[in-house]
Amino acid sequence: MLSVRDLTVSLGPETAPVDIVAGVSFELGKGEILGLVGESGCGKSMTSLAVMGLLPQPGPRIRAGRVLLEGCDVTQLQPWQRVVAGHGRMAMIFQEPMTSLNPVRRIGDQIAEAVRVHDRLSGPPAIDRARELLEQVRMPDPAMQLSAYPHQLSGGQRQRVMIAIALACRPQVLIADEPTTALDVTIQVQVLGLLRELCNRLDMAMLFITHDMGVIAQLADRVSVMYAGRIVETAGVEALFGRPRHHYTRGLMDCMPSRNSGARRLPTIAGQPPAPGTVGAGCVFASRCAAVRETCRTAAPPRAEVSQGHDVLCAFPLDGGEPR
């Protein structure tokens, strides 16, 4: 369905580009949820904006790579071509619902506007469709809420409205960039449940971005772990949590307090991620890796498939023998 190949997003001049996303590839099938996890600044948002064709201008640009939606390279299309060719069928939801909604318009009108753009409906039929969408996202009392303003809704309800707007174009692919980070756990679990259900019911694929390993474990079918602009490990969710093979993935899991109950001190990953543009020839994780060897610093590690559907960007992956 969606296939991203060697996507590279760069800043700076053509002659000396700084890659903030470097050769990211992933595949997303019908109804599948791919989790993209990584620390702040590792390039998750830039990846999703590049896939959507929404990179901020001026600034970062796609320097190389392809984004194929059902075989058609959308990076080559103008925005209007995307709509005309029916390739507008990707939608995105963001972290902070309040900044994406117009504070002085009723949410019914805002959803209806999205309906008008995509379904060429207007007037009462558009409002009907808006109510239907609110029902789909399990908004309590949808007919009443059509006339509410964003500030009258709770954070979870606002995120539901954002999802309703995203669903207005009947997307085949939904990209969700940390949609629950601003929500309480009790509300987060509802929104995650809703997204899961929508993917199943509408056969929609989703790229779900987060920095929270717990959320990934709950929601995703497959997971890609991102570090310093690269995907360092991709695997099915059971395999990834059961036997992480990249040293960074393992480190991330070990330092989560909830996986560590009882221990006096939390294991940590020493140091900080490298700033974009400062990575050398070798492995990007070399400066923090406990298992680093001499070759890691000089040669870029190969991408190796350690088992069916599980690949790692590491020259010396962790032993797959002992499950955690």
Ligand X SMILES: Nc1ncnc2c1ncn2[C@@H]1O[C@H](COP(=O)(O)OP(=O)(O)OP(=O)(O)O)[C@@H](O)[C@H]1O
**Site residues for other proteins per CB under 8 A:** 39-40, 140, 154-156, 184-190, 192-193, 196-197, 211-219, 237-238, 241, 251-253, 255-261, 264-269, 272
Total residues interacting with ligand X, rule: CB under 6 A:
15
Contact by Cβ (8 Å): 38, 209: no
The rounded distance, in Å, linking the Cα atoms of 80 and 175 is 20
Contact by Cβ (8 Å): 234, 225: yes
Residue 301 binds which entry of Mg ion, ligand X, ligand SF4, none, with Cβ cut-offs from 5 to 8 Å by kind? ligand SF4
SS3 267: coil
With respect to ligand SF4, which residue has the nearer C-beta, 24 or 173?
A: 24
SS3 216: helix
For ligand SF4, the binding residues (CB under 6 A) are: 247, 283, 285-286, 289, 291-292, 296, 301, 314-316
Residue 279 binds which entry of other proteins, ligand X, ligand SF4, none, with Cβ cut-offs from 5 to 8 Å by kind? none
Would you say the C-alpha torsion 118, 122, 127, 129 has a positive or negative sign?
negative
Least Å from the CB of residue 191 to Mg ion: 17
Question: Does 20 participate in binding ligand X (rule CB under 6 A)?
Answer: yes
**Between the CA of residue 9 and those of 14, 19, 280, what are the distances in Å?**
12, 6, 17
Residue 219 binds which entry of other proteins, Mg ion, ligand X, none, with Cβ cut-offs from 5 to 8 Å by kind? other proteins
Least Å from the CB of residue 47 to Mg ion: 10
Instruction: List beta partners, residue 35.
Output: 208, 223
Contact by Cβ (8 Å): 231, 284: no
Residue ranges that bind ligand X, judged by CB under 6 A: 11, 20, 38, 40-46, 56, 59-60, 211, 276
